[in-house]
Structure 1
């Protein structure tokens, strides 16, 4: 698809889902995950105040630095890793082509 990138979601057992994500709609990774009916609660709707869209970045071309709100939320999670991000704060751009994430459990 033109004007889209490839996002990969690694699931339990090693299976991978490959998703097409449009780059011309201003979507976030969270919105793409929800549109594909994956298990992302995103209770705050993308405001970076609930962390229910927490993903672990397994492979990434180049990610933007997290903002202060995102860092604060990630620091409050007991199961966050150095590669943790809030998918609501990752805007789908051509720079994210090939991004590989794992949806993190809530507890």
Structure 2
């Protein structure tokens, strides 16, 4: 099972074990990660599951689709590392993934 590290704006870390095949957002919600609101439930229809993917993992998580980029327009403090966690499917290859939770989602 992939282990994912969520880093909060204050620097605190939460490591969770995820089931392969679920999304990063689903894993965050199942493990009560603060700051991941996911108001649309993973339909890529909001930007409340916004995260910053650590630079070392950006290639492995891939680039956002056009639909995801359009939704990121609604996120706060969008950066080059920004992704919607509902659009990152977890695989064994993402074991060790590190993401940062933004200071606010909207």
TM class by smaller structure? 0.7 to 0.9
- When Rg is computed on C-alpha atoms for both structures, the one with the higher figure is 1
Q: CA RMSD of the aligned region, Å?
A: 1.6
Partner-residue secondary structure (3-state), 2:18 = strand
Once residues 45 and 56 of structure 1 are traced to their aligned partners in structure 2, the CA distance between those partners, rounded to angstroms, is 19
More strand per residue: 1
- 1:10 and 2:7 matched: yes
Partner-residue secondary structure (3-state), 1:72 = helix
Mark the runs of 5 or more structure 2 residues left unpaired by the alignment: none
Partner-residue secondary structure (3-state), 2:60 = coil
- In the other structure, the counterpart of 1:55 is 51
More deviation in 80-89 or 4-13?
A: 4-13
Partner-residue secondary structure (3-state), 2:40 = coil
Task: Go from structure 1 to structure 2 and tell me whether the alpha carbon gap of 1:77 and 1:95 turns closer, same or farther (over 3 Å shift).
Answer: same
Partner-residue secondary structure (3-state), 1:13 = coil
Mark the runs of 5 or more structure 1 residues left unpaired by the alignment: none
The aligned length equals 102
- 1:100 and 2:98 matched: yes
Using structure 1 for the length normalisation, give the TM-score. 0.85
